A and B are shown apart, each in its own frame.
Chain A
Amino acid sequence: MDHRERNWLFVLIAVFLVFNIVTLSPLIPWQRWMFWSSPAPEHTVRVEFGEYEIRLPAENIEARVGEYVEFVATSDDVTYGLGVFRKDGSMVFQEQVLPGRENRIVWKFDEAGLYDVRSTEYSGPRHSEMYIPDAIRVTQ
């Protein structure tokens, strides 16, 4: 191997190491509980999908800043996506909702406010209708 190729290979290795170490580290806040630990959630929220509908629990979804909430999403028919969004449209988190499984994700909100829920996976022509504004209230 030519020395210039070797040097370039070292550059590639350095980029690989830096990028992966940073993105696996707690510098990405949710890696703390999604990758490095499995904290017991303070409470669990069940969300059911089916017939182009997102069915939330009868009582409102409420959480406090800093507590761990587990979302368990299920589907009666096809694959959907559970996506939680801020009021400006930016995404907080999402997961795929496969039928026949309990799709679990734990989240810790860091900001009080109202959050929207939207299906993030295409499920048929009416997919875009699957949107619930102000579905989650997070308080201090």
Chain B
Amino acid sequence: MGERLAITAKISLGLAMSGIIYAMFLVVPQYVGLGEAGRIIIIHVPTAWVTSAAFAVSAVFSILYLRSRSGLHDASAVAAAEIGMLFCLFATATGAIFAQVVWGTFWNWDPRETSILVLLLIYAAYFALRSSVDDVPRKRRLAAVYNIFACVTMPFLMFVAPRIADSTLHPNCAFLQGSKCEGTTLDLNGAKIGQLGDVVVELKAVQKQGDMTSATVEVRMPGLADTADLIPTLDNAGQPADRPEFPGQSFRMILIEADAPAGTARVNIQAPGTGLLSNQRTLWVFMASNLTFGFLALWLYRIRATILHVSSLVQTTEAL
């Protein structure tokens, strides 16, 4: 009975993932400004969420290992960390593809990209630590302690750091209520580095002409590949009017507020992608995708934990 249920669940998962792939290409509509690239969120975001869940599960098993010293708990912690790493790499790769299509570059050290890279390095160090200690009980103990500390950094790197940044190209506001994305305030006292993605920005002038307020902002792209003076404007209602494009990129600069007498201006990046989930079809496919990727991760975890546990049993038996 249990075996039959397991087979049914696996076949259902296979069909569900096929359905997600079908829906991603043929049901989800194109998003204005993103073209076909918007479809990637159906995979990108669920894999990122599975990553955080897997790392959290891994830390729980590490705590259990420290309490019980059971090889099964250690195997479970490693399996969950491996699944987290796999999905994290997948989320990073799909994010880089999205960035290439929408922002014009695979990697631009956006706060979100930087924090996910740091997370990958932290968990790469976890596996390096495991392979660098030969004594098995010591290896397990050290790895468990490290894993708990690694997990403490995970929520900060995945959820907090990208949101406390003044500006990010990543469309946070598309998915999470309360994301600020308030931009950065510039004054006439010189250039600011890395305030908008990895772009150097320098406020040159703030002017009021009739009902319109404009700011002249010099932007220097990474490696000083391009330099340009962008002049975003605000209309009389305080809404962004002219939204000039960054040189060689497909995102734009918007002026949020400006104070001409004080010589300050608050600017932000406007990248396509915000509001993707306001479409009902996209939202439902997205929710189904989260569920399906969650079950896929669970299955992968069970397989890997079984293999690792068997391997540890064989090693223990041989040691006897």
A and B associate in one complex: no
Interface residues, chain B, CB within 8 Å of chain A? none
Interface residues, chain A, CB within 8 Å of chain B? none
